[in-house]
Amino acid sequence: MAARQLLQSIAMENNLSETAFFVPSPTGFHIRWFTPTSEVDLCGHATLAAAFVLFHCLAYEESEIVFASRSGPLRVVREGALLVLDFPAQAPVPCDTPAGIIAAFGMEPVTCLKAGDYIVVLESEGAVASADPNLAALKKLDGRGVVITALSDTHDFVARFFAPKYGINEDPVTGSAYTQLAPYWSGRLNRTKLRARQLSARGGEVVCELIGDRVYIAGLAVKYMQGEIEVNPAR
């Protein structure tokens, strides 16, 4: 079995939003991410988890990890209990709202933009929280997924992320989405440091800061489970 096929098979068996795989490299580590159906170019929470494993389970002693990836070098810095991801910014640009988005959400958004994903700005936090999209309609869109977002009363903004085409109906917390959301909300709110809440069923707090062409995303991780899997590459 080819290496990529093996990694994809493991990710499919895990059936999580993304599974991260990392190995040592001359500059640090090389990392790849797979959803249950596809390899992706960038993933935040799985990179956070990989760094947590290195720091807390594999006795990595430095304060900074550099991952080589399909999106270039990605730094993770340990700052107390926080892990800070240094990711490339992806500023979204305004676009016409695809008919599939209007059909999926049953409403016309305030604004529609696009970078790696569609960024769909809704009128209120309540509209984001109550959205129940038609996933079949979202599957037909080009690009990776759809982020819905709005201003918040308790945070700077809220968001949710859907990528059914990649086997992710709704992602709990999506670090890579904030590489697009941070440039948008930074420009709209006229500040570079932002607090956000992802309104998935599990939910998550995100602190992000736009610095030039990079987005710093800080978060916490906890050890949930440790185990072994058995792999038969010949099958």
pLDDT bracket for residue 2 (50, 70, 90): confident
pLDDT tens for each residue of 156-200: 999 999 999 999 999 999 999 999 999 999 999 999 999 999 999
| Residue 220 reports pLDDT greater than 70 | yes
| Residue 1 reports pLDDT greater than 70 | no
Last residue of a domain, one of 34, 68, 88: 88
List Cα–Cα distances, 3 to 7, 46, 49, 72, 219, in angstroms: 6, 19, 22, 21, 31
Mean pLDDT of 224-229: 90
Give the 3-state secondary structure of 10-49.
Answer: HHHHHCCCCEEEEEEECCEEEEEEECCCCEECCCCHHHHH
Q: Is residue 99 part of a domain?
A: yes
Q: Is residue 61 part of a domain?
A: yes
Q: Is residue 131 part of a domain?
A: yes
Last residue of a domain, one of 88, 121, 149: 88
Last residue of a domain, one of 67, 88, 109: 88
Are residue 72 and residue 119 in the same domain, yes or no? Answer: no
| Residue 231 reports pLDDT greater than 90 | no
Are residue 7 and residue 109 in the same domain, yes or no? Answer: no
| pLDDT value of position 233 | 67
| pLDDT value of position 127 | 97
Are residue 78 and residue 120 in the same domain, yes or no? Answer: no
Are residue 52 and residue 128 in the same domain, yes or no? Answer: no
pLDDT tens for each residue of 3-39: 899 999 999 999 988 999 999 998 899 999 999 999 9
pLDDT tens for each residue of 34-91: 999 999 999 998 999 999 999 999 999 999 999 999 999 999 999 998 999 999 999 9
Number of domains in the chain: 2
| pLDDT value of position 235 | 61
Are residue 9 and residue 30 in the same domain, yes or no? Answer: yes
φ, ψ of residue 45 to 5 degrees: the values are -65, -30
pLDDT bracket for residue 230 (50, 70, 90): confident
This prediction has a pTM of: 0.90
Q: Is residue 213 part of a domain?
A: no
φ, ψ of residue 38 to 5 degrees: the values are -155, 155
Domain that holds residue 72: 3-88
Catalytic residues: 18
Q: Is residue 128 part of a domain?
A: yes
Q: Which one, of 144, 150, 145, 143, lies nearest residue 133 by Cα?
A: 145
Are residue 202 and residue 109 in the same domain, yes or no? Answer: yes
Encoding tokens for residue 141?
Answer: 């869109």
Are residue 140 and residue 195 in the same domain, yes or no? Answer: yes
The CATH number given to whatever domain includes residue 40 is: 3.10.310.10
Q: Is residue 49 part of a domain?
A: yes
Are residue 80 and residue 103 in the same domain, yes or no? Answer: no
SS3 (DSSP) at 110: coil
Cβ-contact 196, 208 below 8 angstroms:
yes
Cβ-contact 199, 60 below 8 angstroms:
no
Are residue 99 and residue 204 in the same domain, yes or no? Answer: yes
pLDDT tens for each residue of 85-117: 999 999 999 999 999 999 999 999 999 999 989
SS3 (DSSP) at 6: helix
Are residue 126 and residue 179 in the same domain, yes or no? Answer: yes
Q: Is residue 222 part of a domain?
A: no
**Kind of pairing, strands 19-25 and 39-40?**
unpaired
Q: Is residue 51 part of a domain?
A: yes
List Cα–Cα distances, 180 to 25, 87, 147, in angstroms: 28, 11, 9
Are residue 80 and residue 16 in the same domain, yes or no? Answer: yes
